[in-house]
Amino acid sequence: MNSLPGKHGWRRIVVAAVLVALVTIWLAHVPLLQFAGRWLNVSTQLAAPVDDVMVLGGDLELRPLVAASIVRSGLARRVLITQVVASDEVVDGMTPPHHEIVHQVLLRSGVSADAVDLLPVIADSTQDEARCLSEYLASHPGRRVAVVTSDYHSRRTKRVFIAACGDRAADLSFIGAPTDGFAAENWWRFEPGFVQYVDEYLKLFKSLVL
């Protein structure tokens, strides 16, 4: 006797399974989205002082403020900043270049001018910044560096920097700056949070595939 469901029976089972899955996802969407947000953050706190703090481009406010706070706390001596490809507003002379704004944030947050180094690379991506630090570490062996980026950007940053710096990556720490407005717990409720977290997943996917 054949006890397997017929064609219509299988269809009902598949439809029921899809419905159960959708209801489960809907009921659990908040913890699932929070987990997705937290998964991107692999940053750690500083267990010991470092020599330099590198501020990654892409955020003009909280990343430099965290770097300044690290220096003020005596956990680092110098801040490394990169130049970023100029936007149209910078080209038109309407706003100062990215690195100049970061420099000003650092100075106004208590970092002395001679503690800031502008790295000689114009970066267009996290990969460019990782290559830049790799070259810096090659010419400054033994330096311990804390890389400051946004918390949701730390997983991809860590992956890219470890790939670029190889053995020297052992002396790197990855610090996750918070963002104003949203965090891993509520990112999907804010337009900028939604855009940045989804962007980050897409870029992470691209970095894994390509």
Partner 1 sequence: MAGIAMATVAFHAPLMRAVAGLLIVDESGSQSPAILMLNGDRCFDVAAQRVSDDEARLMLVRGNPGRLVKMGIVPPADEMARRELHKRHVPDKAVSLLSTSPVGGLELPGELVKWLLQHPETEVDVLCDRLSSRRLDVLIRRSANHDLRRKIHIVALPNRNYDETNWWRSKPGAMAVLNGLLRLGFQYSTAGQAPPWVERTDSDLEAAFRKDPRP
**Footprint on this chain of partner 1 (rule: CB under 8 A):** 43, 45-46, 60-62, 65-66, 69-70, 73, 75, 88, 94-96, 101, 104-105, 108, 124, 146, 151, 175-181, 186, 189-191, 194-195, 198-199, 202
- CB of 132 closer than 8 Å to CB of 94: no
Nearer Cβ to partner 1, position 125 or 134?
125
Q: Nearest distance from residue 4's CB to partner 1, in Å?
A: 29
CB of 136 or CB of 197, closer to partner 1: 197
Nearer to partner 1, 49 or 120 (CB): 49
User: Minimum CB separation from partner 1 for residue 77, in Å?
Assistant: 15
- Residue reference for tokens 């130049």: 83
Side chain identity, residue 103 = H
Residue 131 C-beta: closest distance to partner 1, Å? 17
DSSP string, 14-44: HHHHHHHHHHHHHHTHHHHHHHHHHHT----
Here the contacts of 196-203 (C-beta below 8 Å, separation 24 or greater) are: 196/150, 196/152, 197/36, 197/37, 197/40, 197/152, 200/40, 200/152, 200/153, 200/156, 201/36, 201/40, 203/156
Report, in Å, the least distance between residue 68 CB and partner 1. 9
Cβ proximity to partner 1: between 11 and 72 the closer is 72
Closer Cβ to partner 1, 94 or 170, answer by number: 94
Helix (H, G, I), strand (E, B) or coil at 4: coil
CB of 178 to partner 1, least distance (A): 5
